[in-house]
Amino acid sequence: MKFVKFVMIALALAIGGLSNPVLAGDKDPLFIGLSSDASARASHVLHFAELQMAKGHPLTIWLNEKGIFLASKKYSKKHANEQKALADLMGKGATVIVCQFCMKQLDVKEPDLLPGFKVGNPDLLGAALFKDNTKTLSW
């Protein structure tokens, strides 16, 4: 009986997953939430983001939790490579939003931010996140 139940659930998930596939269009916007300042993790997501931008996907990166340290002058020595990658992406048209709530919690002030980073607010964040056909990733 347990086996039959397992097969039925697996079949339902498989059919349900196939009936409404989510596919990205060639130019669909990409919204990435980056919540870590771990160098390997951040470098990986920034490389992925760069590749997708090169394919024509408009890019928004939302730095939240410890990811906000990537935008702070106080951490320039530790995150020089990631800050350069973010600056390069912004230079190509990416938007990078820094979580205002996380800034308060982790004591990062707006003057601490490097040029080009935007302090988040509900309108700015919502406009990027809920733009038609936007695909989201969380890293």
Question: What CATH number does the domain containing 32 carry?
Answer: 3.40.1260.10
Q: Is residue 8 part of a domain?
A: no
129 has pLDDT over 70 = yes
Count of the separate structural domains present in the chain: 1
Return the percentage of the chain with pLDDT > 70, whole number.
83
Q: Is residue 129 part of a domain?
A: yes
**Residue range 2-56, pLDDT digits in tens:** 665 655 565 555 555 555 555 667 799 999 999 999 999 999 999 999 999 999 9
Domain membership of residue 62 as a residue range = 25-138
Q: Is residue 125 part of a domain?
A: yes
Q: Is residue 61 part of a domain?
A: yes
For 42-77, letters b (16+ CB in 10 Å) and e give: beebbeebeebbeeebbbbbbbbbbbbbbbbeebee
Choose the most confident range, by mean pLDDT, from 11-15, 24-28, 96-100, 135-139. Answer: 96-100
Position 124 scores a pLDDT of: 97
Question: CA end-to-end span of the chain, whole Å?
Answer: 39
Q: Is residue 121 part of a domain?
A: yes
